[in-house]
Amino acid sequence: MSETITIPCPDDWHLHLRDEAMLRAVAPESARHFARAIIMPNLVPPVVTGADARAYRDRILAALPDGRFTPLMTLYLTEDTDADDVAAAHAEGLITAVKLYPAGATTNSASGVRDFDRVRGVLERMADIGLPLCVHGEVTDPDVDIFDREAVFIERILDPIRRATPGLRVVLEHVTTRDGTDYVRSAETGLAATLTAHHLVINRNHIFAGGIRPHYYCLPIAKRETHRRALVEAATSGDARFFLGTDSAPHADAMKESACGCAGCFTAPNAIPLLAELFEREGALDRLEGFVSRHGPAFYGLPVNRETLTLRRGAPFTWPGRIETGDGPVTLFDPGFPLHWHATRNEDSA
């Protein structure tokens, strides 16, 4: 087995960088292993207009002054989103996608969509101009069991939207179920999915192992082992419809270790070593490059990074249990097994 692998530098197709002190602490962690990332717009207040996206992009670039990381901006879709503003932001290359949060589905989603008919015009315009829609795919109906919300969303909301807007390109974000991977495979074109590192590792038992484990709580919530296996099969299959979106979602520990803890796992620092370990265990190391470096750019119509990243297998990789931020410590995702792959971005392009 080869102990060193060099691949085009990975990209992260779903990332939360937050803002201000948290942004300054977490952005360098992503830039260590990733050349580009799709930046989620769920700030408070959200990134809704082209002007918001420009200002946020500038704050991100100010936090990463060496120019080696490109933020790919998104707009937060609301019922009042202006299709012309979206089209103008796309035309000037300011945004790469629009993000749909069903109102109330997840962290900072209060401004999201309640009535999907009210965003029909924007979705049609996006289909016309080829701008992808990234979707948090969970229904918010409290009568639907939390473990069923993704499957029900696909049937009740996503499939009808895709049928009503045939040219719309959609990324079903952070897929957590076999229903999700099956649905993505059912479409020949125009549909893809991101998979996180943490959902490839934990199932729902991990959240309750010996007590409640707030650092394994994220949305969509981890599902049964059979679903985790479906995600691992999709990630390691070589199918270009599946690619990495870490959904690295830092919250200060005080916000997670609380009577009503926030959802999100912070995985930016160890997602790539973790995926190398996982793909190695699955006998699929040769497919890691497609999953982290090639399938995402292919879907978004962007070039693969010319810069490379080298993975070296060695002594177990150690990372701090938490990083310090201006908002307090943030605990890193612990996969619960040792990681042996050390990743380094190379200065030279391939």
Ligand X SMILES: NC(=O)N[C@@H](CC(=O)O)C(=O)O
Residues contributing to the annotated binding site: 14, 16-18, 42, 99, 136, 174, 219, 247, 251, 263
Q: Which residue's CB is nearer to Zn ion, number 48 or number 285?
A: 48
Give just the sign of the alpha carbon dihedral 77, 80, 84, 88. negative
The CA-based dihedral angle spanning residues 162, 193, 268, 57, taken in that order and rounded to the nearest 10 degrees: -40
Question: Is-catalytic flag, 247?
Answer: yes
Of 52, 179, 247, 253, which residue is the catalytic one? 247
Query: Shortest gap between Cβ of 40 and Zn ion (angstroms)?
Result: 5
3-state SS assignment for residue 57: helix
Query: Shortest gap between Cβ of 314 and ligand X (angstroms)?
Result: 31
Could you please report the per-residue DSSP string of 150-176?
HHHHIIIIIHHHHHHSTT--EEE-S--
CB 347 within 8 A of CB 43: no
Q: Which does 179 bind (CB under 5 to 8 A by kind): ligand X, Zn ion, none?
A: none
265: closest CA among 306, 216, 308? 216
Residue 97 interacts with ligand X (CB under 6 A)? no
Among 136, 198, 227, 228, binds Zn ion (CB under 5 A): 136
Q: Which residue's CB is nearer to ligand X, number 150 or number 247?
A: 247
Binding mask 28-57 for ligand X (x = CB under 6 A): --------------x---------------
Among 136, 256, 295, 345, binds ligand X (CB under 6 A): 136
Give just the sign of the alpha carbon dihedral 149, 152, 158, 160. negative
Q: What are phi and psi of 185, to 5 degrees?
A: -70, -20
Residue 247 interacts with Zn ion (CB under 5 A)? yes
CB 276 within 8 A of CB 285: yes
Residue 111 interacts with ligand X (CB under 6 A)? no
Query: Shortest gap between Cβ of 109 and ligand X (angstroms)?
Result: 7
Q: Which residue's CB is nearer to ligand X, number 249 or number 343?
A: 249
In the Cβ-directed half-sphere of 329, how many Cα atoms lie within 13 Å?
10
- Catalytic residue numbers, as ranges: 247
